[in-house]
Amino acid sequence: MTDNQTPSPVAVTLESGPTGGSIDDFELFYARRALDRFRSRLGRQGLLDLLAEDIEQGNAFLRESARTSDGNFKAGTTVLNTQGLTSGVFLDWMEKAFAGDEGPLLAAHPEHYAMGTDSIGARVVENIGPHVADFYMGGWGTEALAWAKDAAELLPESEFPRKMSSNLFLADGTVVGRALIQFGDTTDGFTANLTVYFPVTCPDEVLEHHLRHYAVEFRNWIVAAAAARA
């Protein structure tokens, strides 16, 4: 091989031995088990204490992005199709999950650190792109969500009758994002249209990573809702 040649990628395949999945499946199982152990050992407050510096930096990034964007946002949408479960069943499960133990909510994504409700509202501590952020969701039925009525991403009521919109805001009230999620039943399941908005000065990678975040967490929540129904 000459110096300017790119080496061929290495491929490893499992020929025999363990059963029940691929090497990637095994790695995912062990990664989830290890993560659950650390979450359990540290506990909610332990995790928040461990991430305090990261959260301070992440919230500062979002606050500055909101300031320099002057109320302007950019949007991205993840679309998921589900078979074998209706949107009504899924949303009922979600409502109960947010009202109860945060365990099933945290389990849906490796970068979920806290989810629950306090005196301010529905609190979420998770990654926004590479940044760990501590923010709230809310504003349903208020003038703060007037933007949702005119959003370019709004889908027809006849096809997507179940809609939820929210502002994402810091404890000091700074709005650092928005969310618009819409669900429509199909002949064998439902479609979830998941839109997130971030300040326009946020790097594009922040938006792209949250679209991936949506795909992971909602897929896992839907699977959990189906398992709870069985």
pLDDT band at 3 (very low <50, low <70, confident <90, very high): low
pLDDT reading at 124 higher than 90: yes
Q: Are 14 and 22 in contact (CB under 8 A)?
A: yes
Domain map (residue ranges) of the chain: 16-50, 55-229
CATH code of domain 55-229? 3.30.530.20
How does the average pLDDT of the chain come out, rounded?
93
For 50-60, what is the mean pLDDT? 98
pLDDT reading at 26 higher than 90: yes
At residue 67, the pLDDT reads 98
Stated pTM of the model: 0.91
Question: E strands within 157-229?
Answer: 162-169, 175-185, 189-199
At residue 141, the pLDDT reads 55
Q: Are 153 and 75 in contact (CB under 8 A)?
A: yes
Residue type at position 157:
E
The tokens describing 109, both together, are 């994504």
